[in-house]
Amino acid sequence: MNMMTDISVVDRALSCVFINLYYPGFLDHHYQQTPALSQCSYSNQLHSIQSACFGDSDFYSSNLRNTAWQANDLIINCAPLQAAWAREQGVNLAGLDLVLEQIRQLRPDVIYLQDLTIATPDFMQALRPLTELIVGQIASPVPPQTDLQSFDILVSSLPHFVERFRQMGITAYYQTLGFESRVIDQLGAVNKEIDISFVGGLSVAHQERLALLETVANIPGMQMWGYGHESLATDSPIRHCHNGEAWGLDMFRILARSRITINHHIDIAEHNANNMRLFEATGCGALLITDYKDNLPELFEIGKEIVAYRSIDECVALVKYYQQHPEAAAAIAKAGQARTLRDHSYAQRMLESAEFLDRHIAYRRNKGCFAQYAMHDVQTAVIETDAEHVSHEFTAKAWCDENIPLRQRDLVQTQLEQMYHGQVQTHFQALAQLIKPVVKPACTVLEMGCSSGYYYEILGYLLNMPIQYTGVDISEHFINMAQAFYPGQRFLVADCTDLPLPDQSQYFSISSGLLLHVPRYKEHIAETVRVSQRYVVAHRTPICRKKQTQYFCKQGYGVEMNELHFNEHELLIEFLSHDLRLVSAVEYTSDPSIDCYELSYLFERKNVGCGSEA
């Protein structure tokens, strides 16, 4: 394998098996509606069940297949379906033994558990030799029997779950749920005949929800569907407007027929919005009135695409207001549907999944290719010099050495592996911490001095959101490697003092560990500002506070090059002279005894409107 170009190449289509447990009430209902179904073939039964669009149906597998993966679904608690498979394969197995045999025959590269109740230590141990990656998805209370440490990757739509898993040393990805647009085609034309709806469950995990629904049940025009109503008190006002359970397409049709629908999260969601109804309701074209959560503005524009309430009284007031203002309600519903279809589709989610699954499998398969380059080998023989002996051309040529990319990536791979096990490098964390308060999903981010592009991976993981990334480096060898590692991203070979990009074309422009290697740093700063629409970042910048700017010759990755350590005041004045303001800074290395510090700075253009975004 040529590590410079082939690192991400896999010699065959990768495959994934999604393991699902369906709600028994739906399965009973579905088979009662089609009594002969249990005698049909395995493939016909599976098709019938998935055509009902219950839960996430085949939304994951079908969209993952669109990314060139192979994908299959197993609904392991559907007895007639599983019995049909055993019958057709001529095996006398049942339960989890049958599931293990199905996996043996499918030979997947990834096993993806969408319900962790079966993830006991014994079952996980049995799965381990049958695949390369075991992935679990969860946004509900963790079952006590679940062996979380047996998973290679956990996925959750709850940010606080993701953070807790990472603190446990588990690789964890934040991924919101989504909507499948083909549902709209299956529904066909519908009339908006339901004034206000609620579709959802009632259980011990929904105590706050029950209090809300007891109140809104008295609003004229309110109708409700879902499980758990039989446990309500006999005098509950919910009973007079509750219409029983609704599954799959019937549930989607209710939402599509609704002018307004109310949403409320499960208690375990805490301060985060995450449930399926966010996307199902908006995707079906209803005005969503949901409980406010801290991350809700990352998903929708409140007041323009959805409506949010912070109390029961506010929910009632909003429902009544939009009842009386149907045109305003319809306009928000239309905008919400457009946002969901654009940004919250399962097609988009599976593109994200395919990318990180590809990456982790490639890292596993190529692990022996990395030489474990040590941090102390990065910089040796540092000798102080003066400005006259430092050359932009000399340093640029040094970084174009063909040996540097592999040596640096060796070190980076170790740091990435540590990150995925909960040990994040301070400079990784510093950049994420710096821009997290102001970054927006899918905003444009330019990294200058991108080397092998690894900050694309780091920022996506630590920020928990997708970005539109462009990487620039003067080294063609680095850019070739970056394109191999991250084939879906944009990379350019260019000098950082002369960028081939339009003015203000990037929401963020990041000078990434680059300033110290640019003797013509004033020209570089000017270019960084020119291409930025909103924010400028100087990342991994060595500075001194008492001394003047210092110049050095050193050996970096075995190659002779120059390096600058900036007087902080002088450097900040240079940035601020370009009509910027300093927003914040993160200091993550300091040694006052030798007047040596390392910081990352965030600047913002002055007089930029709050809604401005590239």
Of the pLDDT bands very low, low, confident and very high (cuts 50, 70, 90), residue 233 is: confident
Give the tens place of pLDDT for each residue, 536-561.
999 999 999 999 999 999 888 889 98
Pairing of strands 258-263, 287-291: parallel
Contacts 24+ apart (CB under 8 A), 491-498: 491/450, 491/453, 495/396, 496/448, 496/449, 496/472, 496/524, 496/527, 496/528, 497/392, 497/523, 497/524, 497/527, 498/527
Arithmetic mean of pLDDT, 403-422: 95
Give the tens place of pLDDT for each residue, 282-316.
999 999 999 999 999 999 999 999 999 999 999 99
Give the tens place of pLDDT for each residue, 118-129.
999 999 999 999
* pLDDT in the model for residue 375: 52
pLDDT: which is higher, 6 or 159: 159
For the cut 70, the answer to whether the pLDDT of residue 381 exceeds it is: no
Tokens 């909960």 -> residue = 422
Arithmetic mean of pLDDT, 524-534: 97
Residues 6+ apart with CB under 8 A from 511: 448, 449, 496, 524, 525, 528, 536, 537, 538, 539
Residue 409's H or E segment, with its range, is helix 404-419
Percent of the chain at pLDDT > 70 equals: 95
* pLDDT in the model for residue 392: 85
Arithmetic mean of pLDDT, 392-399: 89
User: pTM here?
Assistant: 0.93
Please tell me the number of Cα atoms within 13 Å of 117 on its side-chain side. 8
Of the pLDDT bands very low, low, confident and very high (cuts 50, 70, 90), residue 391 is: confident
User: Which three-class secondary structure state does DSSP give residue 534?
Assistant: strand
Of the pLDDT bands very low, low, confident and very high (cuts 50, 70, 90), residue 85 is: very high
Q: What angle do CA 589, 591, 595 make, to 5 degrees?
A: 115
* pLDDT in the model for residue 371: 60
Q: Is 502 exposed, middle or buried (0-12, 13-18, 19+ CB in 10 A)?
A: exposed
For 444-498, give the DSSP string: EEEEES-TT-HHHHHHHHHHTS--EEEEEES-HHHHHHHHHH-TTSEEEE--TTS
Percent of the chain at pLDDT > 90 equals: 85
Give the tens place of pLDDT for each residue, 149-182.
999 999 999 999 999 999 999 999 999 999 999 9
Q: What angle do CA 67, 69, 72 make, to 5 degrees?
A: 120
For the cut 60, the answer to whether the pLDDT of residue 3 exceeds it is: no
Least confident range of 41-50, 187-196, 229-238, 568-577: 229-238
* pLDDT in the model for residue 532: 97
Average of per-residue pLDDT values in the chain: 93
Tokens 């999260």 -> residue = 265
* pLDDT in the model for residue 249: 96
Alpha helix stretches (DSSP H) within 114-189: 121-127, 159-167, 182-187
pLDDT: which is higher, 366 or 376: 366
* pLDDT in the model for residue 146: 97
Arithmetic mean of pLDDT, 44-61: 97
* pLDDT in the model for residue 202: 84
Tokens 């040094």 -> residue = 398
For the cut 70, the answer to whether the pLDDT of residue 470 exceeds it is: yes
For the cut 60, the answer to whether the pLDDT of residue 605 exceeds it is: yes
| Percentages (nearest 5) of helix, strand, coil residues in the chain | 45, 20, 35
Give the tens place of pLDDT for each residue, 410-419.
999 999 999 9
Give the tens place of pLDDT for each residue, 341-359.
999 999 999 999 999 999 9
For the cut 50, the answer to whether the pLDDT of residue 137 exceeds it is: yes
Q: What's the rounded Cα separation, in Å, for the pair 514 and 532?
A: 17
For the cut 90, the answer to whether the pLDDT of residue 217 exceeds it is: yes
* pLDDT in the model for residue 372: 57
Least confident range of 34-48, 77-91, 225-239: 225-239
For 379-391, give the DSSP string: EEEEEEE-GGG--
Arithmetic mean of pLDDT, 571-584: 97
